[in-house]
Amino acid sequence: MAETPKSLKEGGTIEPVREILWGSAAGVRKYETADELPEDMRKLVVKLMVVQADTEFASIQQHRPWLDRAPTLEDRWIESRIVADEARHGLQACRILRDFGEEGQRYIDELLAKREGEHKLDAFNMKFDRWSDVGAFTCLVDRVGVYQLRSFQECSYGPLARAMPLMLSEEQLHLNFGASVLRRMVTDGAKYYGSLAEAQEAVRKWYPRSLDMFGHSNSETSRRAIEYGLKRWTNEEARARYIEEVRKLLTPYGIELPPPEFDRHVL
């Protein structure tokens, strides 16, 4: 059996979670129940939670085949933790949806019926064919998820804001694990079922889908979400920060990022 990988902490560069007030949210009142929300904001919270829960449940389907195929014992244990974490995140998003009565329950029923290939975002309809896909997905796609969660962290809807600290600390493990998988492929490829070339190929596969996840530039939904204090940055601002963060993380491994416009579906 291969030796235990070095600390997974090495791979993460995202800033630590901290309490700050941002954007218009600093001046926006906190709503505590679904009934209090203005109609437009209520629709937006439901829409955001449906997408959030959909990504959580989809990633369980993507990780599932690797529970007993990951190369080391520790990798298998972390895979099983990730699956448990994503199930909990899906449950948490659905609990928020439940507060929206019959409408919320209808969405939950639909979410539970979705199978592979039926999800809203492209990144969650692609299979993990190789171990490098697991590494690139957790390093790149989960990292976009963290940007979204950090936006919700101080959002004006109390039940959503309070769900964030635990979810964020769990996601941090996923990101660091992804970076560790890619780093081990580059530095110790044969032992960890991969190589620099394979890691590079996986990054080219998942990076464009990650950039798409931030949504359209000049999106009206994104502008409204900032106004209501539900989001922190515009799609374009968040995408630019992300590109810089990933570049700093992967360049030292010898992995190059394709240009931001490469293979994009959402611009």
CA angle 225, 229, 230 (to 5 degrees): 50
Report the residue from 54, 75, 79, 142 that binds Fe ion according to the rule CB under 5 A: 142
Angle between helices 73-98 and 39-63 (to 10 degrees): 160
Stretch that binds Fe ion, among 32-40, 66-74, 79-87, 195-203 (CB under 5 A): 79-87
Task: Give CA–CA dist 139/126, Å, rounded.
Answer: 15
Task: Give CA–CA dist 63/73, Å, rounded.
Answer: 16
Site string for Fe ion, 18-57 (x = CB under 5 A): --------------------------------------x-
Running DSSP on this structure, what letter comes out for residue 9? Answer: G
Q: Of 21 and 67, which has the nearer Cβ to Fe ion? A: 67
Site string for Fe ion, 96-135 (x = CB under 5 A): ----------------------------------------
Burial class (CB in 10 A: 0-12, 13-18, 19+), 9: exposed
Q: How far is the CB of 86 from Fe ion (least distance, A)?
A: 5
Stretch that binds Fe ion, among 4-12, 86-94, 101-109, 252-260 (CB under 5 A): 86-94
Residue 31 phi, psi dihedral angles, 5° rounding? -95, 140
Q: How far is the CB of 60 from Fe ion (least distance, A)?
A: 9
Q: How far is the CB of 213 from Fe ion (least distance, A)?
A: 13
Assign 266 to helix, strand or coil: coil
Pick the closest to residue 211 from 173, 263, 170, 251 (CA basis): 263
Contact between 239 and Fe ion by CB under 5 A: the answer reads no
Restricting to residues 158-177, name those near Fe ion by CB under 5 A.
171, 174
Residues in contact with Fe ion, total (CB under 5 A)?
Answer: 6
What sign does the CA torsion over 89, 110, 124, 15 have?
negative
For tokens 């437009």, what's the residue?
A: 40
Q: How far is the CB of 57 from Fe ion (least distance, A)?
A: 10
Could you list the residues that contact Fe ion (CB under 5 A)?
56, 86, 89, 142, 171, 174
